[in-house]
Amino acid sequence: MFRLDGKTALVTGGSKGIGLGLAQGLAEAGADLVLVARGQADLETAREKLAETGRRIEIATCDLLQTDEIDGFYQELIADIGSIDILINNAGMTVRAPAHELAMADLQKILALNVTSVFAMSQAFARERIAAGQPGKIVNIGSLMCSATRPGTSAYTTSKGGVLLMTKALATDWASHGILVNAIGPGYIETPLTKPLVDDPEFTGWVQERTPLARWGTPADLVGAAVFLASPAADFITGQIIYVDGGWLARF
């Protein structure tokens, strides 16, 4: 029930960090991969690393901030490599600033990548699946900030709140087509993006004290939830979010 043999999974932001960790886990569960990111060099490095899984690893460059180009990109990709069964919407970004100091340009950029590109990629995926009469699985990468926030994260929190409700809306619209849409809400995960925070003793101390499991998470900690939601084991689950946060949201 938890195998992905014979399936192909596309992972956005799949060249490093959480995306690369999820790609590794999906491949180990039997899925072939399509990694999408902006940087060709990082994609090549990721493909070399994942080659050890023995799965087919395709790579494709795309600037997901150019949201009007996503549908055309996806159609060309499908024509080149064939259909995709699983979509992992992982690519995202943040800008930290007090809400009253946040530049509107930064807000729009965060919303474009974290919300609009997720919708556009999901829409392209669903259109192909519906036209082919085939089911599919979408897993959106949310955040603790789908449900809570902290100072300086207003733009990111706004975007991830949108991802949570988008997950529910798409799940509702596409259930009759067999396209199931769920999300994962990571806690504080150690990646190249969060390294400055990990290296800050005060911040890491706060994370450890605030998290019941008393540590930062790793991309590998998210793999089980992603494989589960993408697999036949989750065929009666849609419109949900699983928080993988070390107990963060359970504690006052």
Structure confidence by residue, pLDDT tens digits, 205-246: 999 999 999 999 999 999 999 999 999 999 999 999 999 999
**Cβ-count burial 117-153 (b if 16+ within 10 Å, e if not):** bbbbbbebbbebbbeeeeebbbbbbbbbbbbebeebb
The beta strand positions in 100-145, using DSSP E, are 136-141
Cβ atoms of 208 and 188 within 8 Å: the answer is: no
* Percent of the chain's residues with pLDDT above 90: 99
The pLDDT tens digits for 113-128 are: 999 999 999 999 999 9
Q: What is the Cβ-side half-sphere exposure of residue 190, based on CA atoms within 13 angstroms?
A: 14
The pLDDT tens digits for 179-205 are: 999 999 999 999 988 999 999 999 999
**Angstrom distance (rounded) from CA 78 to CA 251:** 44
Provide the mean pLDDT of the chain: 97
Residue 252 — very low, low, confident or very high, per pLDDT cuts 50/70/90?
Answer: confident
Answer yes or no: is 85 within a domain: yes
Give pLDDT, residue 193.
Answer: 85
Threshold 0.85, pTM exceeds = yes
Answer yes or no: is 195 within a domain: yes
Answer yes or no: is 1 within a domain: no
Answer yes or no: is 110 within a domain: yes
CATH of the domain at 83: 3.40.50.720
Determine the average pLDDT of the residues in 44-67: 98
Task: Check if 74 is active-site.
Answer: no
Answer yes or no: is 21 within a domain: yes
Residue 148 — very low, low, confident or very high, per pLDDT cuts 50/70/90?
Answer: very high
- Number of folded domains in the chain? 1
* From 74, 156, 188, 243, active-site residue: 156
Q: Which residues form the domain of 71?
A: 8-241
Answer yes or no: is 49 within a domain: yes
